[in-house]
Amino acid sequence: MITVVGHTAIDHICKVPVFPERHGSVPVTDHKVYYGGGAANIAAGIAKLGGECELLSAVGDEFEGSDYDSWLTSLGVGKRFIVVDGKRTATCFLFNDEKGDQMTFFEWGASRAFAESEPPALDFVHMATADPGYNVKVAEKAGFSSFDPGQDLINYSKEQLEAIIENIDILFANHHEVRRMTKMLGVQEDELIGRIPVSIITMSGDGSEIHAEGSVHKIPVVPVTLADPTGAGDAYRAGFLTAYQKGYDILTACKIGTVSASFTVEVIGCQTNLPDWKTMSARYNENFGRLKEPETE
């Protein structure tokens, strides 16, 4: 069982011709609602790949019985929800203008409840972006844990980040996040990476770099037609974690993550185009050679 901790959120993605001036009004020419939130994206990805997982999120009292709730149920995601009365599930309002610029308004809503909650001790847990204090406690209590800081790095104190780094087994981050973490901790990149057993650094179109046991490996991206990069990191983590828990070695698990991400970026929405294991395997075979069963130790 993989537990994923963090946001379950509703993403409103809107197109506008331009952004409004102060006191101005602009028309929204397109508005679509997508299922999102880093933790929920990862849990959905794992479940779709056939992994056993549960999602530890704080949600509003409107969530139960919603379309999103039913969607998670249909995927087989186990729900370990903190239900917050009178609060809305975290909501992201995203406005894209015609020049390709983006403005994001993120409402934590029910996710604020993490701050006052006491996490359980978990065997195998991934911490996606959410409350720093809660994540520190999760990391301290966990058996095996992985972490991605996402856009919430700004909310972490140096001490909180130190405590996370101290306790995790795997770090997932993109190169911007790695740079930010080195600044926050006042260390070089090598030193940061040296503190964690495995670091998986994604570099957009340049693929990913895996640091494990003193060696570095690079894995290229799977070439696809890009529609929307949002959710690529979450899909990568879903693929990796599913494979890793099945017993695959780290490099194969990273390739499975890369292949999983390639589906997500082909379509708008983080959970719109999640592959099942068979679909993922077929694309894996085309790009990395035949995917075998994991070797049993």
Report the interface residues with a second copy, using CB under 8 A: 14, 16, 19-20, 22-28, 31, 88, 91, 93, 95, 101-109, 151
Q: List, edge to edge, every strand of the sheet that includes 2-5.
A: 78-79, 53-56, 2-5, 124-127, 144-147, 170-174, 198-202, 208-212, 215-219
Nearest approach, Cβ of residue 103 and a second copy (Å): 5
Nearest approach, Cβ of residue 89 and a second copy (Å): 11
The packing angle between helices 67-75 and 38-48, to 10°, is: 40
Residue type, position 267, single letter = V
On the CB side of 284, CA atoms within 13 Å amount to 25
- The three-state secondary structure class of 74 is helix
Q: Any idea of the CA torsion for 63, 65, 67, 69, to the nearest 10 degrees?
A: 60
Nearest approach, Cβ of residue 52 and a second copy (Å): 33
* Nearest-angstrom CA–CA distance, 174 and 278: 28
CB 297 within 8 A of CB 71: no
Write down the catalytic residue from 69, 169, 234, 276: 234
* Nearest-angstrom CA–CA distance, 76 and 44: 8
Nearest approach, Cβ of residue 130 and a second copy (Å): 13
Q: Nearer to a second copy by C-beta: 71 or 93?
A: 93
Q: Nearer to a second copy by C-beta: 51 or 149?
A: 149
Asked about 234 being catalytic, the answer comes back as yes
Nearest approach, Cβ of residue 5 and a second copy (Å): 20
Q: Nearer to a second copy by C-beta: 29 or 73?
A: 29
Q: Nearer to a second copy by C-beta: 102 or 188?
A: 102
Q: Nearer to a second copy by C-beta: 23 or 290?
A: 23
* Nearest-angstrom CA–CA distance, 263 and 31: 22
Q: Which residues are catalytic?
A: 234
